[in-house]
């Protein structure tokens, strides 16, 4: 029974990547059952499309109908589970390879731009404005204004949009932030180009930041708020 439940969740997570041709049968969708079924189709379709799988819509419908109507199937449920898992892993591996290649290409090209500096960790940054105040250390809490974007320019987070600066201890943020902010003096504005290994890595974050994402932050260091005497005890 557990395997059947796993398959059900895998199908929902994977979704449906291709759509039937022709117009929507509005009369079929109009009923309560129809709307619910259509909603499942949309959700499944959206998720499988994101995976980029090559998908046979007719075969999918035959398999679903066979199970729902207790018809004979060409695969056992164990075989179906195995094929779904393999397809899912292959799609995820392909996405990972493409994302890593895109990240590498970005940093190689970005490094050639005037004003780009690179640290030993691979963090790239450029100075927009150099301040004259003190520099924070890892145990400090800082106040900053920032805007975070992906390499296509999409904004995923911004203290400016919220209308107030952010405050946080440097030891509690991603390594790219911790390192980058310690390079800055109060009053500085830097642009940080953070590789995924100094950001959210292969996991991404909260459905907002995909795995292996390059993060670009334009950061203004407003002040060093306080010193935390024992940062390690709070980690």
- Which residues does the annotation mark as catalytic? 146, 156-157, 174, 200, 217
DSSP structure string for 217-233: EEEEEEEEEEE-TTHHH
Q: Are 188 and 129 in contact (CB under 8 A)?
A: yes
What is the number of alpha carbons within 13 Å of residue 22 lying toward its C-beta? Answer: 4
What is the number of alpha carbons within 13 Å of residue 71 lying toward its C-beta? Answer: 10
- DSSP conformational letter for 155: E
Helix (H, G, I), strand (E, B) or coil at 73: coil
Helical H segments across the chain, by residue range? 2-14, 26-30, 32-51, 57-68, 77-110, 159-162, 175-182, 231-234
Q: In terms of Cα–Cα distance, which of 208, 110, 89 is closest to 157?
A: 208
């Amino acid at each position: 029974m557990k395997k059947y439940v796993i398959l059900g969740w895998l199908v929902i997570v994977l979704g449906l990547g291709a759509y039937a041709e022709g117009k929507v049968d509005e009369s079929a969708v109009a009923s309560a059952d129809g709307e619910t079924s259509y909603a499942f189709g949309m959700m499944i379709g959206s998720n499988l499309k994101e995976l980029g799988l090559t998908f046979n819509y007719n075969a999918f419908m035959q398999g679903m109908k066979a199970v729902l109507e207790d018809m004979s199937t060409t695969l056992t449920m164990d075989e179906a589970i195995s094929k779904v898992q393999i397809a899912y892993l292959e799609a995820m591996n392909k996405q990972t390879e493409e994302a890593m290649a895109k990240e590498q290409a970005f940093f190689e090209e970005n490094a050639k731009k005037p004003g780009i500096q690179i640290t030993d960790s691979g963090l790239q940054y450029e100075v927009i404005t150099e301040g004259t105040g003190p520099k924070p250390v890892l145990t400090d809490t800082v106040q900053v204004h920032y805007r975070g974007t992906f390499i296509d320019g999409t904004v995923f987070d911004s203290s400016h949009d919220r209308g107030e600066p952010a405050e946080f201890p440097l030891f509690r943020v991603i390594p790219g932030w911790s390192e980058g902010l310690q390079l800055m003096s109060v009053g500085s504005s830097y642009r940080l180009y953070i590789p995924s290994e100094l950001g959210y890595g292969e996991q991404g974050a909260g459905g907002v930041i995909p795995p292996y994402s390059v993060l670009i932050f334009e950061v203004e260091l407003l002040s060093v708020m306080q010193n935390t005497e024992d940062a390690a005890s709070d980690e």
